[in-house]
Amino acid sequence: MGSLEQRFVHYPIGPVDPETGLQLQNWIAELTVDPGDGLPDSSWNKQVDLDAFLPAFANWDFDWLNIPDLIRSAPTVWEFPMVDRDPVDHWVDGNVLLIGDAAHVMYPVGSNGASQAVVDARILGAKFMEHGVQSAALAAFQNQLLEPMNSLVLRNRGSGPIGILGDIDERCGGVFDNIDDVIPQAEIEAYMARYKAAAGFARDELNAAPSTIPHTLQS
């Protein structure tokens, strides 16, 4: 929920305790900052105080979810920079190949960081089967994925699948009683379908495609 500038995501990650009725939750409070101001002391493992961000969510109390209370209930809070890197023009150096985030680190809005690394590994395996474990396989991998993955990096930098939140803000300022009055469901589905196709997540296309690594008979 939220906008391009400020969002909140949460979901359960454990069963409901039968005695307390409580359930372990994971939540993410996102705030957009001006990179020109710098990110002092930023790291991937930095514990922060609630005062660093909770005031921005102080009024996010809904009938079905009190976000300030949910945040305060966390025993610890960690800060992670949401960043990417500019696309590069090659992933191969001799017999060394980068895959996954090492090759195409993306702004994390499309749930395709770890999943794309899995796809990379499958395609690399297929290239090894086709060309042997040699430099030709690395070159074939790069030739197939470099351009589409670099395009996806830039698509995610442009907000990726959550870019539709910007469209909604432009139409109504983010204030509405019924989302269907702002944007038709068919338009939302079409927007997401375009992203899934670009990211390689289109379900029907994936199900209809042949196996990345062909099945072989085993004796």
For residue 183, the tally of other CB atoms under 10 A from its CB is 16
pLDDT score for 50: 92
pLDDT score for 45: 79
Is residue 25 classed as helix, strand or coil in its secondary structure? Answer: strand
From first to last of the 219 residues of the chain, give the pLDDT tens digit. Answer: 778 788 898 899 989 999 999 889 899 998 887 777 766 666 777 888 999 899 999 999 988 889 999 999 999 999 888 888 899 999 999 999 999 989 998 888 777 777 888 889 999 999 999 999 999 999 999 999 999 999 888 888 877 777 888 888 888 887 888 888 888 999 989 888 888 887 777 778 878 888 888 776 444
| DSSP character string of 61-106 | B-SS-BHHHHHHT-S--EE---------S-SEETTEE--THHHH--
Question: Residue 71 corresponds to which amino acid?
Answer: I
Supply angle C-alpha 100, 106, 111, rounded to 5: 85
Phi, psi dihedral angles at 46 (to 5 degrees): -115, 120
pLDDT score for 116: 86
What does each C-alpha distance from 56 to 59, 80, 190 come to in angstroms? 8, 17, 32
pLDDT score for 217: 42
For residue 110, the tally of other CB atoms under 10 A from its CB is 21
